[in-house]
Structure 1
Amino acid sequence: MKKILVIEDELSVRENLVELLEAEGFQVFSTDNGILALLWAEDNLPDLIICDVMMPEIDGYEVLEGLRQIPMRASIPFIFLTAMADKADIRYGMELGADDYLTKPFTREELLRAITSRLSKYEIALQEYEAQHQWTETRQ
């Protein structure tokens, strides 16, 4: 079962996301702020992260930057969900390393396609890494 971390300060949005993702068979962990998310990610390894941009304390951009500094967390697929639809905001999020940027309101289908696509890409990268690692070990 794939694990998804949802970081969203708006309670109703967070609850809807959790319900939707659990109904799709994902194991979901959620928090309402970026600081708690970073603390959680130090000890846990989600398969994908969904994060709002505008949040109190630290914003989603800072969460992404923080995660990219934690070993074994830098390559986790990261999707922004936000009301910030300005082209410059989207570009900034992508330049920081976000894998996708969905603007609110979004449809269930849009979200699930983004998740499926990112998880598939991540799985292929992991398999390639493992294959390369095994190949290197057999040559030694």
Structure 2
Amino acid sequence: MTKVLVIEDQEDIRSIIVEMLTAENFYVIDAENGQVGITILQKEIPDLVICDIAMPKMDGYEVVTWSRENPETEAIPFIFLTAKASQNDIRQGIELGADDYLIKPFTRAELLGAITARLEKQEIINRQTQKRINTSYSYLASTIRNDLNNPLNYITSISEKLINEYEFMNREEILKIIKEIYNLSKNCQDRNLNKL
């Protein structure tokens, strides 16, 4: 279930948003100001934040700034709700890290549309990130296999030579091959320890 944090100081507006989102099967947490919102953000990581701008104790700009400066919350989609509709207000919110901006009064469709768009974008980012992680993991696993297989292939080859030809080799040749096997084995072991 998608978890949404609603930070809004006007209780009637906050209640309406909570009811709307609960009816749409969102798990909703609400806060009456930015300070309480940040306390909640420190304890529970929501999938999306809806936040008013003009609030007592701590405004929405401070909340989004705090959110973007913390690794646990920096990527959470953030939607501002506000009666401030000037281009400067919108620009300031976007520059601080807000992903969207709804101007009061807004409709149910506008709110749900903004939430859906932000969550879909976040899902795309998550899929792309997972794809990059998988690609990096595959490359790393392949590199480690190759690093291990190359010396092991050589060890197998010279061991086989020793097994097949030891009767025709003198003591020095046998000792040389054994030392080579030992050194290659030791190098493989050291490499594996360094990768851990």
Gaps of 5+ in 1: none
- Identity over aligned residues, as a percent? 49
Q: Report which of the two has the higher share of helix.
A: 2
| Aligned AA (1:34) | G
Q: Report which of the two has the higher share of strand.
A: 1
Helix, strand or coil for the counterpart of 2:117?
A: helix
Gaps of 5+ in 2: 141-196
Helix, strand or coil for the counterpart of 1:115?
A: helix
Question: d(CA) in 1 for partners of 2:26 and 2:121?
Answer: 17
1:41 — aligned with what?
41
Question: Is 1:100 aligned to 2:100, yes or no?
Answer: yes
Helix, strand or coil for the counterpart of 2:80?
A: strand
1:139 — aligned with what?
139
Greater relative contact order: 1 or 2 (C-alpha under 8 angstroms, separation 6 or more)?
Answer: 1
Helix, strand or coil for the counterpart of 2:20?
A: helix
Number of residues paired by the alignment? 140
2:123 — aligned with what?
123
1:28 — aligned with what?
28
1:87 — aligned with what?
87
TM-score (ref. length: structure 2):
0.70
The structure number with the bigger radius of gyration is 2
1:110 — aligned with what?
110
Helix, strand or coil for the counterpart of 2:61?
A: helix
Question: Is 1:76 aligned to 2:76, yes or no?
Answer: yes
Deviation of residue 66 (structure 1)? 0.3
Deviation of residue 43 (structure 1)? 2.2
TM-score (ref. length: structure 1):
0.97
**Are 1:42 and 1:70, in contact at CA under 8 Å, matched by a contact in 2?**
no
